[in-house]
């Protein structure tokens, strides 16, 4: 997951390959609650790992359920209709799928068994209405108090003074959020133990019916057969009891699929994009996004648990659609509208106003930012594609879906934008709510023109602070990091292990060409060995300095370095990054510091690692290396003509990082 302040998504051209979706948030949290309420163990496979499921898991644990995780699976031992913990303070973040059903379940449980519970979340959660659900629960005798503003969390739930009653005449509004009805359906089987059935009537036209359909299907998997009279009346039979299905697999998230269906609908590339985890058989309403994408021109095939999508008509056909049944995925349609020939209109989206943010306002502002003409009403949005695309820094309002759907704006070339533009996503971490690795998944299937993938190079003499600066800058930008010195050091280590003479250029080049080198999160691997520590040895650095003077060795190591040039961008440090390996780099920094400073830094660095060192010999050695690097016939170390010269002798590390980031920012269209 990217936890940077912003992520610049370069102009993207095509998609291909396979993407596996994380589990559905809606299914995950429903299944977790049901598993928590029934007796015995339920093993849930494919559960979404995200902020919203995490708060639900923590709440269940706090309420006395046993939660065990093993790999991708989670095993829940439920409370079986009892209430082992009678008091709890539950923080539910911004997870509506946890707040609503837990309110209902705890209100009913506390009414039957007694107890005192507090439910609260982040500030935005305290602005999301829950009054209709509370009214319905109060009407059957539950005790729920508002701690602050009436109608909104935080809530306090307590014992019911006169028990539950009027179970046969429960009323709930259905026209604001279907989550209130879902919450009641999930919780009310608990109220039927006394021998009465529970009958719910919906006031107003029920929105998001497919979500309620999903609730009913999942209840059935847990042994609860709800009788339904259209979408207006629901009856839970007397003495209903949750029965664990023992094992259950969560479908991939259909809303998450929408970003990839959308990408494949607009991106070039003859191959289809395969999406696994959700298919045309899905129980999720947002799978209807497939029909909308087809109507706009996408070619979609699919079966049970898979989809294959390719571009059909482009520009897309504009769409005029009532989105009541796919409120979440409809946001993706709003961005796809940028790729249509004419104005698209999405209606029936009043519920957008009470989601993670006011999504109608948010989408309108951000679509305009990149050049679209947008008109909104209380429950609709109309989007006309940009006459001229602009590079936008998209605010995400702590709303995962805003972040994900605007990533599609990076395909602006496919809409004819010239030049094609990157898109900046502010606070990309918000995707953690439902799809923590969304951007990694996107970069795994999307391709960009090499010239569009930005590179920042940092060259300079030994111990000038290149590695330190490069890794800090890469971390701030969310870019890949190439420590090219480590590549030369790995070749030196391999040569030393194989006993190859440091002057035998052909043998060294042969060895370098066959180097089995892998840089991973788990370290640097040479063949089967983790060599991170060995590479830092001074003797290996010294040998690297010598063998790096051989032209054929340099050539043999070129491909390993070029392979780091991947989405979303690269920071590369070395001697010839800006001059030879990445001459098209957008920013080339040449970092220097006085020899005395550098010797001192290297000395401290070695001592802090517990390696003994002598400052005079270090200085002599680094001056010898400088001389060799500067005088060799190929790729001598020198600044590129267009390099930014930075002498950091008197700068702190933070100051150097800030200076380089400022120079970088000035070279982006967001500067
Ligand atoms: N601007 C700076 N001011 C002070 N010390 C620095 C600065 N930049 C780097 N250092 C320190 O100097 C040492 C050598 O830096 P390093 O990044 O390993 O250099 P290089 O990659 O150029 O060989 C490190 O211990 C680092 O913390
Ligand atoms: N792009 C590069 C990177 C390193 N090198 C060589 O590889 C050696 C080891 O690189 P490094 O950056 O890890 O080492 P230091 O000299 O900074 O300790 C350097 O001394 C350079 O001679 C190179 O020639 N070209």
Q: Which tens digits make up the pLDDT trace of 339-385?
A: 999 999 999 999 888 777 889 999 999 999 999 999 999 999 999 99
DSSP letter, residue 578: I
Q: What is the mean pLDDT of residues 610-614?
A: 87
**Distance between Cα 544 and ligand 2 center (Å):** 7
Pick the closest to residue 125 from 439, 320, 398, 478 (CA basis).
398
**Ligand positioned closest to the Cα atom of 493:** 2
Distance, in Å, from the CA atom of 436 to the CA atom of 53, rounded to the nearest integer, reads: 12
Alpha-carbon gap, residue 139 to 443, rounded angstroms: 51
Q: Which ligand is in closest contact with the Cα of 463?
A: 1
Distance CA 554, CA 548 (A): 6
CB of 574 within 6 A of ligand 2: the answer is: yes
Instruction: Identify the helix (H) or strand (E) that includes residue 31.
Output: helix 25-37
**Tokens found for residue 5:** 């302040």
CA 256/CA 350 separation, integer angstroms: 21
What the block records as the tokens of 472 is 């800090």
| Tally: H helices and E strands in the chain | 22, 33
- Asked if residue 598 has its Cβ within 6 Å of ligand 1, the reply is no
CA 535 to ligand 2: nearest atom: 13
- Candidates 328, 399, 459, 483; catalytic one: 328
Binding-site residues for phosphoenolpyruvate sit at: 25, 96, 128, 179, 359, 401, 433
pLDDT for residue 483 is more than 70? yes
Task: Give residue-wise pLDDT tens across range 105-137.
Answer: 999 999 999 999 999 999 999 999 999 999 999
Mean pLDDT of the chain: 94
Residue with CA at minimum distance from ligand 1 atom 25: 605
| Alpha carbon distances (Å) from 309 to 262, 273, 441 | 9, 5, 16
Interior/surface letters 111-121, b for 16+ CB within 10 angstroms, e for the rest: bbeebebbbbb
- Please give the pLDDT value at position 346: 98
Nearest Cα to Cα of residue 656 among 645, 666, 667: 645
Contact of 576 with 637, CB cutoff 8 Å = yes
Tell me how long the chain is. 671
Instruction: State the angle between helix axes of 653-666 and 466-477 in degrees (0 to 180), rounded to the nearest 10.
Output: 50
Q: To which residue do tokens 């690692």 refer?
A: 609
93-107, 194-208, 466-480, 485-499: the lowest-pLDDT one: 194-208
Which architecture does CATH list for 25-249? Answer: Alpha-beta prism (3.65)
Confidence of residue 208 (pLDDT cuts 50, 70, 90): confident
- DSSP letter string, 520-553: ETTEEEETTEE-HHHHT-HHHHHHHHHHTT-HHH
Average pLDDT over residues 277-285: 92
Centre of ligand 1 to C-alpha 409, Å, is: 38
Architecture of the CATH domain 6-22+252-450: Alpha-beta prism (3.65)
Which helix (H) or strand (E) segment holds residue 525: the answer is strand 523-526
Residue-level pLDDT at 477: 98
Looking at residue 613, what is its pLDDT?
Answer: 87
Report the DSSP pairing between strands 227-229 and 233-236: antiparallel
Q: How far is the CA of 29 from the centre of ligand 1 (A)?
A: 47
Residue 519, CA distances (Å) to 2, 167, 437, 510 in order: 19, 62, 20, 21
Q: Which residues are annotated as a binding site for 3-phosphoshikimate?
A: 25-26, 30, 177-179, 208, 328, 355
List, for residues 225-236, the tens digit of each pLDDT value.
999 999 999 999
Q: What mean pLDDT do residues 624-639 have?
A: 85
d(CA 326, CA 207): 10
**647 labelled catalytic:** no
Of 184, 177, 175, the C-alpha closest to 203 is 175
Torsion sign, CA atoms 168, 169, 170, 176: positive
Q: What are phi and psi of 303, to 5 degrees?
A: -150, -155
The DSSP output letter for 513 is H
Spans of all domains in the chain: 6-22+252-450, 25-249, 453-479+568-671, 484-562
Q: Is the CB of 578 under 6 A from ligand 2?
A: no
Q: Minimal CA–CA distance to 180: which of 135, 216, 150, 144?
A: 135
Distance (angstroms) between ligand 2 centre and the Cα of 488 equals 7
The pLDDT of residue 521 is 87
Same fold, 6-22+252-450 and 25-249: yes
- Residue 321: in which H helix or E strand, if any? strand 320-322
Q: What digits encode the pLDDT tens for the residues 152-178?
A: 999 999 999 888 999 999 999 988 788
Q: How many CB atoms lie within 10 A of CB 609?
A: 10
Which neighbouring-strand residues pair with 227? Answer: 235
Binding-site positions read 25-26, 30, 96, 128, 177-179, 208, 328, 355, 359, 401, 433, 460-468
Which residues touch 559 (CB under 8 Å, ≥6 apart)? Answer: none
Quote the CATH superfamily of domain 453-479+568-671. Answer: P-loop containing nucleotide triphosphate hydrolases (3.40.50.300)
The radius of gyration of the chain from alpha carbons, rounded to an integer in Å, stands at 30
Cβ-based neighbours of 174, under 8 Å, separated by 6 or more: 180, 181, 202, 203, 204, 205, 206, 207, 231
Whether 517 contacts 526, CB under 8 Å: yes
pLDDT band at 632 (very low <50, low <70, confident <90, very high): confident
Owner of token pair 């999508």: 309
Q: Is 193 helix (H, G, I), strand (E, B) or coil?
A: coil
Tokens 């070749």, residue located: 491
If you average pLDDT over residues 82-88, what whole number do you get? Answer: 93
Residue 605 CA to ligand 1 center (angstroms) comes to 8
pLDDT at 504 over 90: yes
Beta-strand pair 116-120/87-91: parallel
Ligand 2 atom closest to 549 (CA): 24
Helix (H) or strand (E) holding 91: strand 87-91
User: Across the strands, what pairs with 394?
Assistant: 425
The pLDDT value recorded for residue 177 is 81
User: Is residue 453's pLDDT more than 70?
Assistant: yes
Beta pairing partners, 344: 383
Rounded Cα–Cα distance for residues 237 and 493 (Å): 73
Alpha-carbon distance values, 652 to 39, 472, 658 (Å): 60, 13, 10
Partners of 200 in the β-ladder: 170, 234
Residue 671, pLDDT > 80, answer no
pLDDT of residue 606: 87
Distances (CA, A) of 256 to 327, 372, 660: 13, 24, 36
Helix or strand or coil: residue 180? helix
Say how far apart CA 367 and CA 377 lie, in whole Å.
15
3-state helix, strand, coil in the chain (%, to 5): 40, 20, 35
Q: Taking residues 494-520, what's their average pLDDT?
A: 95
Is residue 237 within 8 A of residue 225, CB to CB? The reply is yes
Q: Is the CB of 548 under 6 A from ligand 2?
A: yes
Residue 525 to residue 635: CA distance in whole angstroms: 26
Mode of pairing for the β-strands spanning 14-15 and 446-447: antiparallel
Q: In what order do the strands lie in the sheet with 455-459?
A: 480-483, 570-574, 455-459, 587-592, 644-647
Which residues are 116's β-sheet partners? 87
Q: What is the pLDDT of residues 318-328, one digit of tens each?
A: 999 999 888 89
Judged against a pLDDT cut of 80, whether residue 72 lies above it is answered with: no
């Amino acid at each position: 997951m990217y936890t940077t302040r912003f992520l610049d998504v370069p102009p993207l051209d095509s998609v291909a390959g396979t993407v596996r979706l994380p589990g559905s948030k809606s299914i995950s949290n429903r299944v977790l609650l049901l598993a928590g309420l029934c007796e015995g163990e339920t093993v849930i496979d494919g559960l979404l790992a995200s902020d919203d499921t995490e708060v639900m898991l923590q709440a269940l644990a706090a309420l006395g359920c046993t939660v065990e995780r093993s790999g991708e699976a989670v095993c829940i031992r439920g409370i079986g209709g009892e209430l082992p913990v009678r008091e709890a303070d539950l923080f539910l973040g911004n997870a509506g799928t946890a707040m609503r059903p837990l309110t209902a379940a705890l209100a009913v449980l506390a009414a039957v068994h007694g107890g005192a519970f507090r439910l609260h979340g982040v500030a935005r959660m305290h602005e999301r209405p829950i009054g209709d659900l509370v009214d319905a629960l109060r009407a059957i005798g539950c005790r729920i108090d508002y701690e602050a503003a009436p109608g909104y969390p935080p809530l306090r739930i307590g014992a019911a003074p006169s028990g539950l009653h009027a179970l046969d005449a429960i009323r709930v509004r259905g026209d604001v959020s279907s989550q209130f009805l879902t919450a009641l359906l999930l919780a009310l089987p608990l109220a039927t133990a006394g021998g009465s059935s529970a009958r719910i009537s919906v006031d107003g036209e029920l929105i998001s019916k497919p979500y309620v359909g999903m609730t009913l299907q999942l209840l059935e998997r847990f042994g609860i057969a709800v009788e339904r009279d259209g979408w207006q009346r629901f009856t839970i039979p007397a003495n209903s009891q949750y029965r664990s299905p023992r094992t259950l697999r969560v479908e991939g998230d259909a809303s998450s699929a929408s970003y990839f269906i959308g990408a494949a609908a607009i991106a070039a590339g003859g191959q289809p994009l395969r999406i696994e985890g959700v298919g045309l058989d899905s129980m999720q309403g947002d799978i209807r996004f497939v029909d909308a994408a087809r109507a706009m021109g996408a070619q979609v095939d699919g079966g049970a648990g898979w989809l294959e999508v390719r571009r059909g008509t482009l520009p897309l056909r504009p769409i005029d659609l009532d989105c009541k049944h796919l409120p979440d995925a409809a946001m993706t349609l709003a961005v796809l509208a940028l790729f249509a020939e004419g104005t698209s209109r999405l209606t029936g989206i009043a519920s957008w106003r009470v989601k993670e943010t006011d999504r109608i306002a948010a989408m309108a502002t951000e679509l305009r930012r990149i050049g679209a003409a947008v008109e909104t009403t209380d429950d609709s949005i109309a989007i006309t594609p940009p006459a001229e695309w602009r590079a936008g820094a998209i605010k995400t309002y702590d709303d995962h879906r805003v972040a994900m759907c605007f990533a599609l704006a990076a395909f602006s070339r496919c809409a004819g934008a010239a030049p094609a533009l990157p898109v900046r996503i502010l606070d990309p971490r918000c995707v953690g709510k439902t799809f923590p690795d969304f951007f990694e998944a996107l970069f795994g299937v999307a391709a960009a023109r090499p010239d569009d993938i930005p590179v920042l190079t940092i060259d300079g003499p030994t111990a000038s602070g290149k590695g330190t600066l490069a890794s800090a800058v890469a971390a701030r930008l969310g870019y890949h990091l190439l420590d090219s010195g480590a590549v030369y050091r790995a070749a030196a280590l391999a040569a030393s292990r194989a006993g190859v003479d440091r002057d035998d250029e052909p043998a060294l080049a042969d060895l370098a060409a066959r180097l089995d080198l892998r840089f991973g999160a788990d370290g640097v691997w040479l063949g089967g060995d983790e060599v991170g520590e060995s590479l830092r040895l001074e003797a290996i650095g010294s040998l690297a300095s010598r063998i790096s003077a051989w032209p054929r060795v340099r050539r043999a190591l070129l491909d390993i370095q070029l392979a780091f040039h991947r989405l979303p961008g690269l920071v590369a440090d070395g001697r010839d990054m800006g001059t030879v390996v990445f001459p098209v780099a957008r920013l080339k920094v040449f970092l220097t510091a006085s020899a005395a400073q550098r010797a001192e830094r290297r000395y401290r660095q070695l001592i802090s690692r517990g390696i003994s060192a002598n400052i005079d010999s270090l200085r002599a050695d680094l001056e010898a290396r400088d001389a060799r690097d500067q005088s060799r016939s190929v790729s001598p170390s020198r600044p590129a003509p267009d390099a930014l010269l930075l002498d950091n002798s008197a700068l702190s590390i933070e100051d150097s990082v800030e200076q380089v980031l400022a120079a970088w920012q000035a070279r982006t269209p967001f500067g």
